[in-house]
Copies of this chain bind each other. A is one copy, B any other.
Amino acid sequence: MNFADRLVAGVKQKRSHAVVGIDPVLSKLPAFLRDEAAAKYGQTARGAAAALVGFSRLVIDAVADHVALVKPQSAFFEVHGAPGVEAFWETVRYARSKGLQVISDAKRGDIGTTAEAYAAAFFGHPNPMDSWEDPEQWADSLTVNPYLGSDGLVPFVNRCQARGTGIFVLVRTSNPSSGELQDQELFSGENVAQQVAKLVHYLGGRLVGESGYSSVGAVVGATYPEDLARYRREMPRAILLVPGYGAQGGTAADVVPAFNEDGLGAVVNASRSVIFAYKRAEVSPTEAGEAIARAAEAMNHDINGALAAAGKLAW
Contact = CB atoms under 8 A, between A and B. Distances in A.
A173 interface: yes
Contacts of A125: 79
B79 A86 contact: no
Contact of A175 (B152, B177, B178, B187): B152
Given A79-B131, A86-B82, A131-B79, A149 B181 contact: yes
A151 B130 contact: no
A277 interface: no
A109 B107 contact: yes
State the copy count for this chain: 2
Contact of A192 (B43, B45, B176, B184): B184
Contacts of A146: 147, 181
A245 B314 CA distance: 53
Interface in A107-158: 107-115, 117-118, 120-121, 125, 127, 129-133, 135, 137, 145-152
A27 B120 CA distance: 15
A176 to B, nearest CB: 6
Interface of A: 23, 25-27, 38, 42-45, 47-48, 73, 75-76, 78-86, 89, 107-115, 117-118, 120-121, 125, 127, 129-133, 135, 137, 145-152, 170, 173, 175-182, 184-188, 192, 195-196, 199
